Every structure is written in structure tokens, then in C-alpha cells.
Amino acid sequence: MLQQLTLRWQGSNPTQIHPEIALWLYVGDLAAPRAKVQFQDLLNWGGVRPLNLRRTANEVVRLVLMDPSAAWPPGLGIEVFLSM
């Protein structure tokens, strides 16, 4: 069971992130994301988003950074953790 997604900003926390920037989380089926998390929401929630996603031992987990407007702030680094 994937229970939590945690995002840590490297350096100082940004005050605002473009609203289209998101993390899409795929579990097993790589054609349809099981969770879509907006970065601005993560910023507002202190970098933590609860999850409740079942995963079997052999299922692939993929995180994709979606930035359709190419608006990622220059020099901003992140670390993403999934808790089971």
C-alpha cells in the first residue's frame, strides 16, 4: 500500500508554482495515472499528500513531472518520497 507522497524542495521553498505543474503517479497500468497531484497543492500542504493506493509486489510505480507550459522555476530542485 502506498500511503504518502512527500516532496522536499532543495534550497528555499517557492512561494508559488505554476498551476499546471503536477506529479502524476502511475501504479501498474502506465496508461492511466492513479493520482494527479498539483505542485501548488503540495506547497500549500507543506509538501505532504496522503495516498491510499494498493500495489502488488511486481507492479511498476512511475512518477511523471507534468509541466505542459514549460514553467518550471529555473534552479529549483526537488526530492520526492513515496511511503509504504
Burial of 49 (0-12, 13-18, 19+ CB in 10 A): middle
Which pTM does this prediction carry? 0.85
- The mean of the pLDDT values for the chain is 89
Give residue 5's pLDDT band: very low, low, confident or very high (50, 70, 90): very high
Give residue 63's pLDDT band: very low, low, confident or very high (50, 70, 90): very high
**Which H helix or E strand runs over 62?**
strand 61-66
13: left (phi over 0), alpha (psi -120 to 50) or beta: beta
pLDDT at residue 62 above 90? yes
